[in-house]
Structure 1
Amino acid sequence: MAKAEELLVEGVSVELAGARLVHEVGLRAAPGQVVGLIGPNGSGKSTLLRCVYRVLRPAGGSVRLDGEDLHALTPRESARRVAALTQEHSAEFDFTVAEVVAMGRLPHRRGLSGPGAADEAERCAWAIRRVGVEHLAERGFLNLSGGEKQRTLIARALVQEPRLLVLDEPTNHLDVAHQLEVLALAREAGPTVLTALHDLNLAAAHCDLLYVLRAGRIVASGPPEEVLRPELLAEVFGVRATPVRHPLTGALQLLFDRL
């Protein structure tokens, strides 16, 4: 199980092509917490996540992991501590599922040593089984369905053993059963998790804290039961939300109507 580290985003702003897309955002994820970003399309969720996993550099502010500036780390150091599952993924070569998953171990290898170590093979086999793609292990990644690709990439992120796992809409392309499984898997693996989610019921069920983004600014934050209020959801998402309790678990769930 990975050692979790604290994520601290302080006053982060992001600019692209002269436009400011994220405005002085601050958030904290304690070690081992699952923290969700929610907000309408275009609110800045993915842009902020790209800043956390170092694809974008902030125009202002800082992103720190256990007090260290993530953007000051070497790529290898960063890859040992942060894994990301992004919305966009491409592969120019048709690696097998097993090969794609094994790529998650690259930051932990020394020199040009291959994936032959017994512990590495065992970790990869565990992740492949855990996400339910063992029957696809020798299949080419390019020939998979969207859901199969997503599960393979989740396995790759898990074997990377990150201290921080960044997930951008991780339930995209997944059927209902695997949607319910993916965030539970992330929590079980042990890292701190920062995830952007569209499904507010998944966010309510799996996140310890939620941050609501609108037009690149945080407009609300706190535990799901405090944040997912009908008046806020009407203002931010433009929907009428009716809170209910799950009949078996008692967890907060939301029913939606047009305003």
Structure 2
Amino acid sequence: MDALPLSLHDVSVEIAGSELVHALRLDLRAGEVVGLLGPNGSGKSTALRCVYRALTPSSGAVLLDGADLAGQGLRATAQRIAALTQDSRAELDFTVEEVVALGRAPHQRGNLRLTARERELCREALRRMDITHLAHRSVLTLSGGERQRVLVARALVQEPAVLVLDEPTNHLDVRHQVELLRFLRGCGLTVLVALHDLNLAAAVCHRIALLRGGSLVACGKPAEVLTPDAVREVFGVDVTPVSHPVTGVVQLLYDLPVDGTTSEGTMP
């Protein structure tokens, strides 16, 4: 049987005496979109950092196609895993097309010109992210949402097998949030994505891994995981699940106070 493209095998991370992730076990199948959900401080970003090798697990291992990342070179890893992080920056005065072309760096040696095929990869990534019209603009002149789409395009140009995204919808307007998540669902890559929006996660993810305090609380299809009891336990809010009238995907209605009352019907 073929090895899974990505596995977190009992990954734990301890920093300054605090355990940020505890014995996290998660397997991703080829072409699957798996969402990491949890409140702030639940370990989502820490777990992702282990996958794109910004952190080394204190114990356990991250496996890429069945092989421990710790035994692989950074260039080899970058050819297989692309990441969009919360602290991604584009501070140099490069044009958009220059930043996107940097995605080919793991595949090149020396200061070689892009091949015709690589230039076409860049053009296609610009088109996919709806930023072709920005190709000759300096990234320093872009809005936060425009920069975010440039960085996603750069990741795509790496031609990764695994795409790791930490809050990729930050700064994006609603249209581009929907378009990005629709793309992730249909791109054929194995995707591990941390999201705050539970309804967007339910719409795009094949499975959801719910984290609390660095530990895995539940993992499964969105409707199996995003239950009222689980959401109350992990996030401390009450919800009512409903089915989307078109797609049938579970969506959550938050039980918010109405007319100045609390959910118990009394004034706060």
Q: Which 4+ stretches in 1 moved above 3 angstroms?
A: none
Aligned match of 2:128: 130
What is the aligned partner in structure 2 of residue 103 from structure 1? 102
Distance 1:231 1:92 in 2: 44
Map 1:19-34 → 2, pairs under 5 A? 19-34=18-33
Alignment of 1:190-205 (within 5 A): 190-205=188-203
Give 1:1-259 correspondences, 5 Å limit.
6-115=5-114, 117-258=115-256
Preserved contact between residue 51 and residue 58 of structure 1 (Cα < 8 Å) = yes
Displacement of 1:135 after TM fit? 1.1
Gaps of 5+ in 2: 257-262, 264-268
Q: 1:145 and 1:257 mapped to 2: Cα distance?
A: 34
Alpha-carbon distance in 1 for matches of 2:44, 2:36: 6
Structure 1 alignment gaps of length 5 or more: none
Q: SS of 2:31's equivalent?
A: coil
Highest RCO, 1 vs 2 (Cα 8 Å, sep ≥ 6): 1
Separation (CA, whole Å) in 2 of partners of 1:5 and 1:155: 25
Task: Give the CA deviation at 1:257.
Answer: 2.3
SS of the equivalent of 1:104 reads: helix
> Could you tell me the TM-score, scaled by structure 2's length?
0.92
Name the SS for the 1:239 alignment partner: coil
Cα separation, 1, equivalents of 2:45 and 2:158: 21
Residues 103-162 of structure 1 deviation map (CA, whole Å, 9 limit, x = unaligned):
1111112332122x1111111001101111111111111221110000000111111110
Counterparts of 2:219 and 2:89, CA distance in 1: 34
Q: Which has the larger radius of gyration?
A: 2
Mark the CA change 1:75 to 1:221 in structure 2 (over 3 Å): closer, same or farther.
same
The alignment partner of 1:84 has SS state of strand
SS at match of 2:111: coil
Cα shift at 1:20: 1.2
Structure 1 vs Structure 2 CA RMSD? 1.4
Tell me how far apart the structure 1 counterparts of residues 214 and 204 of structure 2 sit (CA, whole Å).
Answer: 23
SS at match of 1:161: coil
The percentage of counterpart residues that share the same residue type is 60
1:183 Cα deviation from its structure 2 partner? 2.2
**C-alpha displacement at 1:15, in angstroms?**
1.4
- The normalised TM-score by structure 1 is 0.95
Distance 2:32 2:154 in 1: 21
